[in-house]
Amino acid sequence: MKRKIWNERLIICLAAALMLITVCRPSVYAAQDPIEVVRNLSDFIFGMIRAVGVILLGWGIVQVGLSVQSHDPSQRSNGFMTVAGGAIITFTREILDMITGG
């Protein structure tokens, strides 16, 4: 019985919060230059891609180091592939700029 009361209270609280969010939403104004918004979003996305690339690059270096220590050729090749992939991902924006000429 108590569980049913708590479930009903939870539903009422969620409905009230949803209604408040819908009714009391803040005004959002567009930026002066829409191209600047797209440029900022592009910078953010490429920053996230660069972070993933740096992580992969670091992990590849660790794999190569471990393979040298353990004399494992398959791990070494995986490490070099990860380093190459991480480098490509890290410099994606520069590669695209070279290809497009921009």
Q: What is the DSSP string of 20-42?
A: HHHHTPPP----S-HHHHHHHHH
Q: Where are the alpha helices (DSSP H) in 24-102?
A: 34-70, 73-90, 92-100
**pTM of the predicted model, to two decimals?**
0.62
Contact 84, 53 (CB under 8 A): no
What proportion of the chain, given as a percentage, has pLDDT over 90? 39
6-64 residue pLDDT tens? 677 888 888 888 777 777 766 666 667 778 888 888 889 999 999 999 999 999 999 99
1 pLDDT exceeds 60? Answer: no
102 pLDDT exceeds 80? Answer: no
71-89 residue pLDDT tens? 888 889 999 999 999 999 9
Contact 57, 84 (CB under 8 A): no
